[in-house]
Amino acid sequence: MANKPSERSKSYTKPVELNLIPYMDIVTSILIFMLFTSTGMLQIGVINVNAPRYKDPMEMGSGVEDNQTEEKQLNLTVGITYKGLFIAGVGGVVGGEGSETDGEAEKKTKSPTIPLLTTDQACRDALANNTPPPASCYDYPKLTAEIVKIKDVFPKETKVIIYAQPDVPYDVLVKVMDATREKDGRALFYDVILSPEIA
């Protein structure tokens, strides 16, 4: 005998349970796969940089020993300016182009060791207006060549002090650090000390 319409509406239907476990397994597997593959694509550069160190003037000690150790150090300094790159050490500033023929010490210190490249109009404009030049205006291979010459004379020295004028692009600072760090697998000056900016 057929059910009446009033009885059909009250008939019980069994609820269906949704099984989420297979979906969660798939999502978890995809997440783990993505984490492992993304770390292989990500390259992280680590640069060894030290903050400037200041000696306490109240510290007592034998000043003679401190002076002797300071005299033995090179204190290599690379300055990034709007005119170019300066390379200096304990003995003074490494002469720039044409500065060796000039007898005046004042011109020697004002002329950069490695002047800006002037092949690009943007570099010439920055030099004329005394504004921060683009990163392409600096001669990084020539900087590395000069640093190699210094390393040949001071093979045990590893520290370099780098300073920059205000508003020099950050990528210039990084490229200068790279240029002073190594050449063809040979370690040069890899202990970088950032000096406060100059005016």
The answer to whether residue 48 is domain-embedded is no
The answer to whether residue 91 is domain-embedded is yes
pLDDT score of 84 more than 50: yes
Q: What is the pLDDT of residue 195?
A: 79
The answer to whether residue 120 is domain-embedded is yes
What is the C-alpha separation between 23 and 81, in angstroms, rounded?
A: 59
Contact 51, 133 (CB under 8 A): no
Whole-number percent of the chain with pLDDT over 70: 64
What is the C-alpha separation between 8 and 96, in angstroms, rounded?
A: 101
Q: What is the pLDDT of residue 13?
A: 72
What is the C-alpha separation between 161 and 72, in angstroms, rounded?
A: 16
The answer to whether residue 84 is domain-embedded is yes
The answer to whether residue 150 is domain-embedded is yes
Average pLDDT of the chain to the nearest whole number? 76
Q: Which residue has the higher pLDDT, 59 or 154?
A: 154
Range with top average pLDDT, 36-50, 51-65, 103-117, 155-169: 155-169
Whole-number percent of the chain with pLDDT over 90: 12
The answer to whether residue 5 is domain-embedded is no
Q: What domain count does the chain have?
A: 1
**Dihedral, CA atoms, 141, 143, 145, 148, nearest 10 degrees?**
-130
Lowest mean pLDDT among 102-116, 123-137, 170-184: 102-116
Tokens 């609820």 identify what position? Answer: 15
The answer to whether residue 89 is domain-embedded is yes
The answer to whether residue 118 is domain-embedded is yes
DSSP secondary structure letters along 11-80: ---PPPPP--HHHHHHHHHHHHHHHHHHHHH-------EE------TT----HHHHHHHHHHS--EEEEE
Residues spanned by the domain of 188: 72-194
